[in-house]
């Protein structure tokens, strides 16, 4: 299998092509093909994974063809399968297959189901390309591919204006990040003449500090765009306009973690500059707090989960920013998050499925009785994310918080460790609020609701993912960390003694978690008001996404549209000016000229003559001068 890695990508890609091109004929069986493709890739991924253990060096690299050659610069279409890639491949195809299966039920009544699966397979293929490439251009190809699939899927219901707008927003904000990434690639080509991972990483030492900093910042910009981190976070919650399986697979489990992958993959670059690491950590810490605060103020079930995703990825950024052994911690948290967040998103989808697409948690309540399986599986996800032992979140988030406290500078430990700790408490608060308002307390349904459990094709994936949410963290925590080095750096041998002991941190975070959860339980046990209540400035700010949208609009959007308008104006005037000016030259006034049919040809001929005179004049000037 390791010599045929391309099959992993080719299978879903071929399936996507079939689904999108086959037309209505494929409507009857198309969705099953759509499920089979990632499942086949999963099986192949497993084979490759086991093959990798016995391989010396634990990495398989192959070059399929030369993608681009210009002078002495060569970019290959090459694939790399190493431990880091392996875990991503398994996450993408494994969780992906379950979500595909779920979508068969979820999209059953949608006319565009075949198209949906086509895009979905396209996404899987692009995401696999992203993690399987052996150089940055391959990564960029996959990066753009998942961006495209994400855009198509967010605006899947393109006749809903809000979905179309959300798709556009995601596309544009991602472009900002992508531009950074693209410039980073150009920078590599200019400075190192290569984009191959191994060659780039082996030459990082030769670069100046400034270059490494700029390179890292550009990569970080790309990562922030794709992963919804500050300051490019605004698109992710809006992306929930897409069908729920999309939110689960793309905007929770896999695509949005591509930024984490990018930084983890580029760890030699990031580890080479401590300023860079500080910036990554700051972005992570800031975003994780932002996500928590905004998530606590939202009433749309999917948006709460979306902000929670933003916040959890903040933890991962925090991890990869800390460097050293924390890279692996971030990846493990990413895997665990893939399980429990996908689980909760699908649970949310199941709730919406039973509640006629209602998404307002103020309009739920008491659903535990009616949707037992959804309730239980969602509970597993909830307990996992707030980090209650022995569920998976505890084993994966805890070490990141601890790592944040174990830094050389005391102030860093306090600031970032404190942020992570505070985030844990807030997470417990808003997730509990979500859980309680949805499944417990009095019914606050709109009229005519008959909640019911979803069909088996939907709850089987839920159950599997719930099991994953429970056990994944505990099982993975230590073996995966070992498995991942190399390519990720090992934890340093000498321990840094942080400002707080490990036990103290564990106890503190558990106390905060229980406090947050308890507070939410107490507050929302009896339901909540159906209308937004007047609130203090913090809550108002949180409801308005901490005014980041308003900021974007004022600083970027407005000037941008003014510029565009000005350009259009100039273009209009410019064209009229040229045509009229020529006409005036030829016939002494455009009015007289327009009566002549051939007036325009004359003015064309005159412009050619003028051009000719200029060309000759310039040529002779060059010669004489």
* Segment interacting with other proteins, rule: CB under 8 A, options 64-72, 341-349, 350-358, 428-436: 64-72
Which is closer to other proteins, CB of 209 or CB of 572? Answer: 572
Question: CB atoms < 10 A from the CB of 554, how many?
Answer: 11
Q: Which tokens is 495 given?
A: 């321990």
Size of the site for other proteins (CB under 8 A): 45
User: If binding is defined by CB under 8 A, does position 559 make contact with other proteins?
Assistant: no
Query: CA geometry: angle at 308 spanning 304 and 312, to 5°?
Result: 175
Tell the smallest beta-carbon distance from residue 70 to other proteins (Å).
5
User: If binding is defined by CB under 8 A, does position 120 make contact with other proteins?
Assistant: no
Of residues 144, 108, 364, the one with CA closest to residue 243? 108
User: If binding is defined by CB under 8 A, does position 620 make contact with other proteins?
Assistant: yes
Asked if residue 342 has a cis previous peptide bond (ω within 30° of 0), the answer is no
Q: What is the 3-state secondary structure (H, E, C) of 150-219?
A: HHHHHCCCCCCHHHHHHHHHHHHHHHHHHHHHHHHHHHHHHHCCCCEHHHHHHHHHHCCHHHHHHHHHHH
Which is closer to other proteins, CB of 532 or CB of 581? Answer: 581
Helix, strand or coil, per DSSP, at residue 232 = coil
Of residues 388, 406, 395, 430, the one with CA closest to residue 504? 406
Tell the smallest beta-carbon distance from residue 370 to other proteins (Å).
37
Q: Which tokens is 433 given?
A: 């609020």
User: If binding is defined by CB under 8 A, does position 600 make contact with other proteins?
Assistant: yes
Rg of the chain over Cα atoms, rounded to whole angstroms, equals: 27
Which is closer to other proteins, CB of 109 or CB of 623? Answer: 623
Question: Rounded CA gap, 345 and 355, in Å?
Answer: 15
Which distant-in-sequence residues (6+ apart) come within 8 Å of 55 by Cβ? 2
* Segment interacting with other proteins, rule: CB under 8 A, options 201-209, 356-364, 475-483, 560-568: 560-568
Q: Which of 50, 568, 589, 596 contacts other proteins by CB under 8 A?
A: 568
Backbone angles phi, psi at 544, to 5 degrees: -90, 30
User: If binding is defined by CB under 8 A, does position 510 make contact with other proteins?
Assistant: no
* Segment interacting with other proteins, rule: CB under 8 A, options 140-148, 209-217, 294-302, 410-418: 140-148
Q: Which tokens is 98 given?
A: 């379950």
Question: Rounded CA gap, 181 and 520, in Å?
Answer: 41
Q: Read out DSSP for 601-616?
A: HHHHHHHHHHHHHHHH
Which is closer to other proteins, CB of 72 or CB of 495? Answer: 72
User: If binding is defined by CB under 8 A, does position 411 make contact with other proteins?
Assistant: no
Q: Which of 45, 127, 144, 419 contacts other proteins by CB under 8 A?
A: 144
Q: How far is CA 21 from CA 16, 119, 581, in A?
A: 8, 12, 51
* Segment interacting with other proteins, rule: CB under 8 A, options 136-144, 308-316, 363-371, 533-541: 136-144
Q: Which of 49, 77, 156, 395 contacts other proteins by CB under 8 A?
A: 77
Instruction: Name residue 80's beta-bridge partners.
Output: 61
Q: Is 102 exposed, middle or buried (0-12, 13-18, 19+ CB in 10 A)?
A: buried
Q: How far is CA 347 from CA 288, 342, 435, in A?
A: 23, 8, 11
Tell the smallest beta-carbon distance from residue 168 to other proteins (Å).
7
User: If binding is defined by CB under 8 A, does position 622 make contact with other proteins?
Assistant: yes
Which is closer to other proteins, CB of 388 or CB of 579? Answer: 579
Helix, strand or coil, per DSSP, at residue 300 = strand
Tell the smallest beta-carbon distance from residue 235 to other proteins (Å).
16
Q: Which of 68, 547, 556, 562 contacts other proteins by CB under 8 A?
A: 68
Q: Is 442 exposed, middle or buried (0-12, 13-18, 19+ CB in 10 A)?
A: exposed
Tell the smallest beta-carbon distance from residue 128 to other proteins (Å).
15
Instruction: Name residue 68's beta-bridge partners.
Output: 75
Q: Which of 56, 71, 210, 536 contacts other proteins by CB under 8 A?
A: 71
User: If binding is defined by CB under 8 A, does position 456 make contact with other proteins?
Assistant: no
User: If binding is defined by CB under 8 A, does position 70 make contact with other proteins?
Assistant: yes
Question: Rounded CA gap, 92 and 89, in Å?
Answer: 5
User: If binding is defined by CB under 8 A, does position 563 make contact with other proteins?
Assistant: no
Tell the smallest beta-carbon distance from residue 488 to other proteins (Å).
28
User: If binding is defined by CB under 8 A, does position 410 make contact with other proteins?
Assistant: no
Tell the smallest beta-carbon distance from residue 194 to other proteins (Å).
15
User: If binding is defined by CB under 8 A, does position 50 make contact with other proteins?
Assistant: no
User: If binding is defined by CB under 8 A, does position 159 make contact with other proteins?
Assistant: yes
Q: Which of 372, 561, 571, 592 contacts other proteins by CB under 8 A?
A: 571
Helix, strand or coil, per DSSP, at residue 359 = coil
Which is closer to other proteins, CB of 178 or CB of 299? Answer: 178
User: If binding is defined by CB under 8 A, does position 362 make contact with other proteins?
Assistant: no
Sign of the Cα torsion 131, 134, 136, 139 reads: negative
User: If binding is defined by CB under 8 A, does position 562 make contact with other proteins?
Assistant: no
Q: Which tokens is 406 given?
A: 């174990």
Which is closer to other proteins, CB of 504 or CB of 614? Answer: 614
Q: Read out DSSP for 27-90?
A: GTTHHHHHHHHHHHHHHHHHHHHHHHHTSGGG-EEEEEEEEEEETTEEEEEEEEE-HHHHHHHH
User: If binding is defined by CB under 8 A, does position 567 make contact with other proteins?
Assistant: yes
User: If binding is defined by CB under 8 A, does position 610 make contact with other proteins?
Assistant: yes
Tell the smallest beta-carbon distance from residue 67 to other proteins (Å).
7
Q: Which of 456, 544, 575, 596 contacts other proteins by CB under 8 A?
A: 575
Q: Which of 22, 164, 523, 585 contacts other proteins by CB under 8 A?
A: 164
The contact set with other proteins (CB under 8 A) reads 65-71, 77, 115, 140-141, 144-145, 155, 158-159, 164, 168, 564, 567-568, 571-572, 574-575, 597-598, 600-601, 603-605, 607-608, 610-612, 614-616, 618-620, 622-623
């Amino acid at each position: 299998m390791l010599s045929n890695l391309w099959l992993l990508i080719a299978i879903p890609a071929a399936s996507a092509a079939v689904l999108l091109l086959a037309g209505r004929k494929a409507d009857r069986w198309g969705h099953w093909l759509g499920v089979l493709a990632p499942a086949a890739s999963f099986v192949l991924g497993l084979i490759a994974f086991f093959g990798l253990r016995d391989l010396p060096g634990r990495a398989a690299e192959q070059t399929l063809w030369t993608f681009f050659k210009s002078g002495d610069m060569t970019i290959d279409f090459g694939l790399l399968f190493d431990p880091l890639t392996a875990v991503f491949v398994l996450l993408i195809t494994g969780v992906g297959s379950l979500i595909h299966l779920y979508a068969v039920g979820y999209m059953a009544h949608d006319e565009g189901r075949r198209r949906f699966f086509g895009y979905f397979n396209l996404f899987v293929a692009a995401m696999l390309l992203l993690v399987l490439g052996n150089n940055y251009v391959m990564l960029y190809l996959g990066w753009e591919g998942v961006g495209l699939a994400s855009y198509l899927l967010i605006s899947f219901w393109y006749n809903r204006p809000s979905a179309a707008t959300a798709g556009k927003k995601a596309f544009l904000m991602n472009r900002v990040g992508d531009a950074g990434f693209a410039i980073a690639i150009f920078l590599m080509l200019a400075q190192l003449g290569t984009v191959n991972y191994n060659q780039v990483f082996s030459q990082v030492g030769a670069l100046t500090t400034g270059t490494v900093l700029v390179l890292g910042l550009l990569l970080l910009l790309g990562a922030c765009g794709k992963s919804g981190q500050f300051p490019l976070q605004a698109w992710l919650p809006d992306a929930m306009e897409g069908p729920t399986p999309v939110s689960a697979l793309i905007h929770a489990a896999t695509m949005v973690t591509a930024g984490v992958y990018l930084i983890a993959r580029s760890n030699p670059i990031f580890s080479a500059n401590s300023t860079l690491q500080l910036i990554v950590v700051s972005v992570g810490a800031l975003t994780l707090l932002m996500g928590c605060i905004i998530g606590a103020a939202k009433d749309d079930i999917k948006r709460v989960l979306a902000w929670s995703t933003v916040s959890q990825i903040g933890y991962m950024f925090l991890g990869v920013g800390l460097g050293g052994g924390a890279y692996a911690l971030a990846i493990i948290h990413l895997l665990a998050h893939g399980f429990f967040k996908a689980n909760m998103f699908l649970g949310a989808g199941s709730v919406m499925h039973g509640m006629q697409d209602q998404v307002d948690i103020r309009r739920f309540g008491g659903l535990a009785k009616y949707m037992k399986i959804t309730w239980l599986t969602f509970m597993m996800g909830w307990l996992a994310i707030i980090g209650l032992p022995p569920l998976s979140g505890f084993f994966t988030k805890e070490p990141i918080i601890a790592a944040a406290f174990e830094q050389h500078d005391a102030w860093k430990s306090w600031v970032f460790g404190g942020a992570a700790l505070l985030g844990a408490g807030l997470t417990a608060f808003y997730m509990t609020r979500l859980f309680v308002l949805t499944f417990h307390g009095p019914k606050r349904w709109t009229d005519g609701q008959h909640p019911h459990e979803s069909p088996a094709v939907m709850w089987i994936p839920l159950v599997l993912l719930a099991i994953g949410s429970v056990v994944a963290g505990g099982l993975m925590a230590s073996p995966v960390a070992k498995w991942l080095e190399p390519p990720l750096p090992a934890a340093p041998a000498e321990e840094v003694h942080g400002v707080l002991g490990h036990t103290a941190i564990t106890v503190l975070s558990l106390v905060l978690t229980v406090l947050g959860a308890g507070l939410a339980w107490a507050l929302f046990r009896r339901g909540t008001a159906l209308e937004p209540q007047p609130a203090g400035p913090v809550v108002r700010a949180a409801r308005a996404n901490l005014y980041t949208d308003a900021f974007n609009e004022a600083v970027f959007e407005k000037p941008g549209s003014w510029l565009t308008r000005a350009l259009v104006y100039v273009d209009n005037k410019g064209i009229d000016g040229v045509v009229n000016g020529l006409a005036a030259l030829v016939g002494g006034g455009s009015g007289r000229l327009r009566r002549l049919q051939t007036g325009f040809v004359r003015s064309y001929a005159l412009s050619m003559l003028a051009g000719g005179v200029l060309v000759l004049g310039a040529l002779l000037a060059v010669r004489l001068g």
